[in-house]
Amino acid sequence: MVLVLTILFNIFDIGSGYEYMPLVVFFVMFLYVSFHLLVKGYLISNHVRFLKPINYIAVTMLGLSGLFKIAHFSGAETMLIVGVSLSSIALLLKGILKGIDQ
């Protein structure tokens, strides 16, 4: 529900005049992705060994890239692209491997 409201706020420019709205959107999306990647047994019921480190690396890279982007450090755009890409790949792998036994 929160994810849908965040997207609707962005579509209809509600709160776009506030400087903190992009931070709220990033934080909500980050929590959503982190929940799906790090909560054990949410999207995947088996224990695939190589997914756990990939999930932690993806969430860490996404969080660090958000902090770098907020602080306006150089290279933040590249880190953000890598973090979002890693998170997407990790979610895709969890979806593909859902229900497959070792």
Q: Is residue 89 part of a domain?
A: yes
Structure confidence at residue 42 (pLDDT): 67
Structure confidence at residue 64 (pLDDT): 92
Structure confidence at residue 44 (pLDDT): 58
Q: Is residue 19 part of a domain?
A: no
Structure confidence at residue 61 (pLDDT): 93
Q: Is residue 43 part of a domain?
A: yes
Residue 86: give the domain boundaries.
Answer: 31-96
Q: Is residue 70 part of a domain?
A: yes
Tally of structural domains, the chain: 1
Q: Is residue 11 part of a domain?
A: no
Alpha carbons 81 and 32: distance in angstroms, whole number: 18
Local mean pLDDT, 10-residue blocks, the chain (102 residues) = 75 74 81 83 67 89 90 90 91 79 56
- Enter the pTM of the model: 0.73
Alpha carbons 59 and 47: distance in angstroms, whole number: 19
Closest CA to 62 of 39, 93, 36, 29: 29
Q: Is residue 14 part of a domain?
A: no
Place of tokens 């990790």: 90
Q: Is residue 49 part of a domain?
A: yes
Q: Is residue 4 part of a domain?
A: no
